[in-house]
Amino acid sequence: MNQKLNKDIFVTTPIYYVNDKPHIGSAYTTLVCDSVSRMLKLMGHNVYFMTGTDEHGQKVEKAALNAGKEPQSFVDEVSQHFRDLVSHMKISPSRFIRTTEPDHIKAAQALWKAIKDNGYIYLGSYDGWYAMRDEAFYAEDELVEGKAPTGAEVEWVSEPSYFFKLSAFQDKLLEHIQNNPDFIQPTSKHNEVVRFIEGGLKDLSISRTTFKWGIPVEEDPKHVMYVWLDALTNYLTVLGYPDKESENFQKFWPNCIHFIGKDILRFHAVYWPAFLMAAGLDVPQHVYAHGWWTNEGQKISKSLGNTIDPIALIDEFGIDAVRYYLLREVPLGNDGNFSKAGLVSRLNSDLANAYGNLVRRITSFIHVHCQGQVPQHSEFSEEELTLFQKGVDLGQKANIFNITHFIDDINQYVHFLNKYVDEMAPWKLKNTNRELMEHILYVALEAIKRITILYLPFIPIAASKVLDALNIDDNHRLYENIDLYLTSGDIIQEIDILFQKKDMT
C-alpha cells in the first residue's frame, strides 16, 4: 500500500457540463480516474470512485433553449450520453451523480446553510463581468482585449447577489497549501495557486437572479446558487452529506483525490477548500490538475469542427488501445497532442507486437505441446529469479501520480521477457530437451502473469482475458500477491489474439 495514502480513498472526476455531447477531454479524465482506482485496488486500498454530470447554470439553460427544450428534459437526454460513454468505456463507477438529483439539491442547500450559519455569506449586489462559457466572474483587470483570459466572451452583470467571504480565507488557504505541499499537484500548479492567492482574494458572488435554472437559495428563492458552489458540493453528496455520520462520509472524507483539467484549478484549489473551511469541514487531500489535449496540433473546439468522438474512437480501436494510448502518450500533468498515427503506432508496437504476441506465442505453444497445462519447472537461475523479482519491485513502486513512467517500466519488463524467450528459444527444444523446454515455458508464463497483473489497470479487458485464461482468482490479482507462483499441471485456457494491428492510414 502506498504509505502516504489512506486505506480508504475517494477518487473523483469533474462532473461534466451537459451543454453538449461528451468529447475526448471528458473521456480522458474519467479514464485517468478509472485507471488510478484500479491501481489503488490492486495496491490493497478500498476505493470509492465517482463521476457524473453538472446540469445547472446559465450555460446549460441556454443550450436547452437553443435546442428548443425544457431544461429538465434537455439535461436528461444529454446526461444519458455521458452515462452511455461510461458504459462504452466499460467503467463501473461507485456512483454516477447528476446535480439535478434530490439528494444533491439537499446537500448543496445544507452546505450553503452551514456556511451562512458560520457567518460567511452576506447579501449585496454584483456589478461586474461574467463569462457564461466558463461560468466564471472576472475582474476588470483580468480581461484581455475585452475577453476573459480564457478567450471566452464576457457580459456585464448587475444584479442582487449573495456573496461568500472568500477574502477571510486568504491566510488560511495559503497556510494550508504551504503546510501541505502535495495538496495541489503537479508542483507548477501549486505555485500558480499560491501566486493567485497572494495576489489577493475578493469576496465571491455565489447567487444569481437573472435566470432560474439552478438550486434555489432556501431562504430567498429569487436567487439560484452559483453553479460552481452547487457543482463542487457533489463531492460531498455522493458520500451521504449532510449526514456526516454516514458510513461513506466517515470512511472517505477527506481522503480524497480530485482529478481535474488545468482549466478548473482555481475552483478546486481556492474556492472549494475555502467553502469547506467556512462550513467547518475538512479539506480534500489532493487536487491533481492534468493537461489539455489538442487534436493533430490544433486546439479542440466545436467551432473548428475538430472534436473527437470518444465512442467512435473506441469502436475503431477498442477501449484498451484508447486508454493505453492516452495514459502512456503523455505524462499526467502535461498537455498532449492527440494523433491517430500515434495511437496506431502504440497499438501496433507496444500492445500487439511486444505484449500480445508474446502472450499468444507462449500460451498457444503450451497448448499444443504441454496439453494446455502449466508446464513443469526445475530450479530457477539467477536471471530467472531477477525476471520474477522485477514484477514484485514494480508492484511495490506503483505510483498513481506517475502512470506514464509506470507503464514504461512495465513495457521494459515485457522487453526483458521477450529477450529471455528469444535467447532460450524453447521451440527448438521440443525434440531434444523437453524438460528444459517446459522449464523455460514455465518461466515465461509466470512472468507473463506478473506483467499482466501490472498492466491490469491500463488495459483491463485484455489483461482480464489473460488472467481468466490462467485461472488467476481475484485475491491473486493484487500487487502484493504477485509473487504467488503458478502451479505446474493446472489447466490453462486458450487465448485469442489480444490486439489486432491496424494499418497506418
Contact residues for ligand ME8, defined by CB under 6 A: 14-17, 25-26, 28-29, 54, 231-232, 234, 260-261, 263-264, 292-293, 300
Torsions phi, psi of 416, nearest 5? -60, -40
Q: Cβ closer to ligand ME8: 230 or 446?
A: 230
Q: Does the N-terminal peptide bond of residue 181 adopt cis geometry, omega within 30 degrees of 0? A: no
The least distance separating ligand ME8 from the CB of residue 59, rounded to whole angstroms, comes to 9
Buried-exposed string 295-334: b where 16+ CB fall within 10 A, e elsewhere: beeeebeeeeebbbebeebbeebbbbbbbbbbbbbbbbbe
Q: Cβ closer to ligand ME8: 16 or 48?
A: 16
Residues 6+ apart with CB under 8 A from 462: 320, 351, 356, 455, 498, 499
The beta-strand segments (E) located in 132-274 are: 136-138, 155-164, 184-185, 204-205, 207-208, 224-225, 256-261
Q: Are 143 and 180 in contact (CB under 8 A)?
A: no
- Tell me the CA distances in angstroms from 124 to 103, 170, 203, one per residue in order: 29, 21, 11
CA–CA separation, 127 vs 159, rounded Å? 7
Q: Cβ closer to ligand ME8: 293 or 455?
A: 293
Buried-exposed string 340-349: b where 16+ CB fall within 10 A, e elsewhere: bebbbebbbe
Instruction: State the burial class of residue 21 (Cβ atoms within 10 Å of its Cβ: 0-12, 13-18, 19+).
Output: middle
Q: Cβ closer to ligand ME8: 55 or 350?
A: 55
Q: Cβ closer to ligand ME8: 63 or 470?
A: 63
CA–CA separation, 217 vs 223, rounded Å? 6
The least distance separating ligand ME8 from the CB of residue 373, rounded to whole angstroms, comes to 47
The least distance separating ligand ME8 from the CB of residue 389, rounded to whole angstroms, comes to 37
The least distance separating ligand ME8 from the CB of residue 336, rounded to whole angstroms, comes to 8
Residue 292, amino acid: W
Q: Cβ closer to ligand ME8: 16 or 365?
A: 16
The least distance separating ligand ME8 from the CB of residue 52, rounded to whole angstroms, comes to 9
The least distance separating ligand ME8 from the CB of residue 90, rounded to whole angstroms, comes to 20
Q: Which residues pair with 225 in a beta bridge?
A: 207
Q: Are 256 and 12 in contact (CB under 8 A)?
A: yes
The least distance separating ligand ME8 from the CB of residue 500, rounded to whole angstroms, comes to 27
Q: Cβ closer to ligand ME8: 47 or 97?
A: 97
The least distance separating ligand ME8 from the CB of residue 426, rounded to whole angstroms, comes to 45
205 in helix, strand or coil?
Answer: strand
CA–CA separation, 418 vs 381, rounded Å? 17
The least distance separating ligand ME8 from the CB of residue 304, rounded to whole angstroms, comes to 12
The order of strands in the sheet holding 336-338 is 298-299, 293-295, 336-338
Q: Cβ closer to ligand ME8: 162 or 275?
A: 275
Q: Cβ closer to ligand ME8: 292 or 380?
A: 292
Q: Cβ closer to ligand ME8: 22 or 318?
A: 22
- Give, as one character, the DSSP assignment of residue 147: B
Query: Which residue number is nearest to ligand ME8 in terms of Cβ?
Result: 25
The least distance separating ligand ME8 from the CB of residue 406, rounded to whole angstroms, comes to 20
Q: Are 167 and 205 in contact (CB under 8 A)?
A: no
Q: Cβ closer to ligand ME8: 175 or 263?
A: 263
The least distance separating ligand ME8 from the CB of residue 403, rounded to whole angstroms, comes to 15
Instruction: State the burial class of residue 416 (Cβ atoms within 10 Å of its Cβ: 0-12, 13-18, 19+).
Output: middle
